Amino acid sequence: MRMGLAIDAACDLPQAFLQKHNIAVMPITIRIDDEIFMDNRNQVELHRFLDRNLGSRSHSAETIPCSVEDVQKLFLEKLVLEQDCVFCLTITATRSAINDHVVKASFAVLKNYREVREKNNMTGPFLMRVIDTRTLFAGSGPAIVEATRLIAAGEVPAAIRERLTYIANNSYGYMLPRDLYYLRARAKKKGDRSVGLVSAMLGSALDIKPLLRGYRGETGPVGKVRGFEHGAETLFNYTAQRVRAGLLVPAVCVSYGGDLAELAKLPGYAGLRSTCEECGVELMEAPMSITGMVNVGEGAVTLGFAAEEHVAEF
């Protein structure tokens, strides 16, 4: 059985990894004033966004997840002809409509795939399984990494689905924003009251940053730090501790809202890299998606790993 993967564009993983494993990307459309961007993790579009310095005013942007019809088209015109089973992994359904769109599209895909395959002299069933990673951005990475391992190992679809559901329930996605005013403006645009004006003003005045976590569908602060660089060091040191304690997937995924060269300069990052090397854990770096930067601002860091349930200590 040929098995493949599809993800939404807000799942932050390196482009080389996506290409190596032939992972399809379900795009998200971004409208910023008169500019339209197709966020499909294409590096050309990403650099166009950054080069035009659109991040400073993109809090007013409109993000449009891949529609039900577009998902159906991707599958019925391409994926049902290339694979016999596709696992679709999305960022948490509590923060994006794309999971709901993919689930709705799956009914039409599973109803109509036979005709498409028969016209191309293909027989046998086609399976489509949708997995909510229950976290955001780089936090979705470990489940996707695990999916590639399971497929390469020849596991059956039922076992893969069960394992990915378990990993999703134990995936931790952390985010350190750089600009609280931006984050509040974007949250207000979306009707999200999680970042209030008082906290944004206080945070900017005292340079206090929240450490935010996406876990099991819930997102919110789990700690506060003074200064972005100190926050980055705190997050990286904490992650290094979790790596030493043992992970469910031997990978830590990190994304940065800008030039990746800036990521390596942040305090604590070299230590995290060394710890990962010592423990046989892959440190996977990716530019944050345009969708991510629109929602949380340029210069933010997101980080994800999968581990047994534990209390975050910051």
Q: What is the model's pLDDT at position 58?
A: 64
Q: What is the model's pLDDT at position 184?
A: 73
Q: What is the model's pLDDT at position 181?
A: 76
Q: Evaluate the CA torsion angle 256, 270, 20, 153 in order and state its sign.
A: negative
Residue 261 DSSP class: G
CA distance 170 to 282: 18
**Cα dihedral 38, 26, 24, 281 in deg (nearest 10):** 90
Phi-psi region of 41 (alpha: psi -120 to 50; beta: other; left: phi over 0): left
Q: In what order do the strands lie in the sheet with 62-65?
A: 35-39, 28-32, 62-65
Over the chain, what is the mean pLDDT?
Answer: 92
Q: What is the model's pLDDT at position 127?
A: 98
DSSP codes joined into one string, 275-290: HHHHHT-EEEEEEPPH
Q: What is the model's pLDDT at position 209?
A: 87
Q: What is the model's pLDDT at position 194?
A: 59
Q: What is the model's pLDDT at position 273?
A: 98
Q: What is the model's pLDDT at position 202?
A: 58
Tokens of residue 183, six digits: 């984050």
Q: What type of residue is 296?
A: V
Tokens of residue 205, six digits: 């005045």
Q: How far is CA 28 from CA 39, 41, 199, in A?
A: 5, 9, 30
Q: What is the model's pLDDT at position 195?
A: 57
Per-residue tens of pLDDT for the chain, all 314 residues: 999 999 999 999 999 999 999 999 999 999 988 888 899 998 899 988 888 877 766 667 888 999 999 999 999 999 999 999 999 999 999 999 999 999 999 999 999 999 999 999 999 999 999 999 999 999 999 999 999 999 999 999 999 999 999 999 999 999 999 988 777 777 777 666 655 555 655 566 678 888 999 999 999 889 989 999 999 999 999 999 999 999 999 999 999 999 999 999 999 999 999 999 999 999 999 999 999 999 888 999 999 999 999 988 88
pLDDT in tens, 136-178: 999 999 999 999 999 999 999 999 999 999 999 999 999 999 9
Phi, psi at residue 4, to the nearest 5°?
A: -140, 180
Q: Are strands 171-176 and 208-215 parallel, antiparallel or unpaired?
A: antiparallel
pLDDT in tens, 237-280: 999 999 999 999 999 999 999 999 999 999 999 999 999 999 99
pTM score of the predicted model: 0.94
